[in-house]
């Protein structure tokens, strides 16, 4: 039953993305046609000004060192974030080329369906992904780890929760 549900989710995501892309492209095309036909849009001027200004902006951005400065700050932030989420593991399986992510908090021994913003953390390489063949394989691995499912979407507090060991002095 859950397997069929995943297929329908995958189909829905794929079709939804495709429909959205088609609508945006058609709307932009119609807007350009209407504005051009009304005489409000001169494409040659837009292209000539756009090319020169974009070129100058990109040159100045790299010439003034903002690209290098930004990457150093980003690296420090990524290293800080990696330490804060080192107790999380992300599992991925695919259905019809649509990826489904689950995140496990290894200290609280709970796993959740990953919130959408976790994908940006994965893309930045902060959390590594454990690829699974299918949902059953993923659940078997999580059960072997002793983790329990939590069907609610996790809050940042639940994901960041770390059980600390008590010291002898406390």
91 and 154, same structural domain?
A: yes
166 vs 72, more confident: 72
Question: DSSP secondary-structure letter at 93?
Answer: E
153 and 123, same structural domain?
A: yes
Question: DSSP secondary-structure letter at 85?
Answer: T
Phi, psi of 2 (to 5 degrees): -65, -35
Residues of the domain holding 126: 86-160
User: 114 lies in a domain?
Assistant: yes
pLDDT at 66 over 80: no
Give helix then strand counts, H and E, for the chain: 6, 5
Please give the pLDDT value at position 65. 65
Please give the pLDDT value at position 94. 85
- The structure's pTM equals 0.55
Count: domains in the chain: 2
pLDDT at 74 over 80: no
139 and 106, same structural domain?
A: yes
52 vs 27, more confident: 27
What Cα–Cα distance (Å) separates residue 122 from each residue in 22, 32, 65, 115, 149? Answer: 28, 37, 27, 12, 21
103 and 51, same structural domain?
A: no
93 and 54, same structural domain?
A: no
145 and 93, same structural domain?
A: yes
121 and 60, same structural domain?
A: no
User: Which residue, 158, 151, 156, is CA-closest to 5?
Assistant: 151
Phi, psi of 24 (to 5 degrees): -65, -45
In the chain, which ranges are E strands?
88-95, 98-105, 110-113, 129-131, 148-149
pLDDT at 26 over 90: yes
pLDDT at 131 over 70: yes
124 vs 165, more confident: 124
């Amino acid at each position: 039953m859950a397997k069929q549900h995943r297929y329908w989710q995958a189909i829905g995501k794929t079709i939804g993305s495709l429909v959205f892309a088609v609508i945006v492209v058609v709307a932009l095309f119609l807007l350009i046609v209407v504005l051009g036909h009304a005489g409000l849009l001169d494409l040659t001027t837009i292209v000539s000004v756009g090319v020169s200004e974009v070129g100058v902006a990109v040159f100045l951005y790299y010439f003034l060192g903002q690209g290098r400065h930004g990457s150093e700050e980003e690296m420090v932030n990524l290293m800080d974030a990696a330490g804060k989420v080192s107790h999380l593991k992300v599992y991925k399986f695919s259905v019809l080329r649509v990826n489904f992510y689950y995140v496990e908090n290894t200290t609280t021994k709970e796993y959740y369906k990953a919130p959408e913003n976790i994908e940006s953390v994965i893309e930045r390489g902060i959390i590594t992904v454990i690829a699974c063949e299918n949902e059953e394989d993923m659940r078997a691995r999580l059960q072997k780890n002793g983790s329990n499912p939590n069907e609610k979407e996790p809050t940042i507090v639940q994901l960041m929760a770390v059980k600390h060991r008590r010291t002898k002095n406390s």
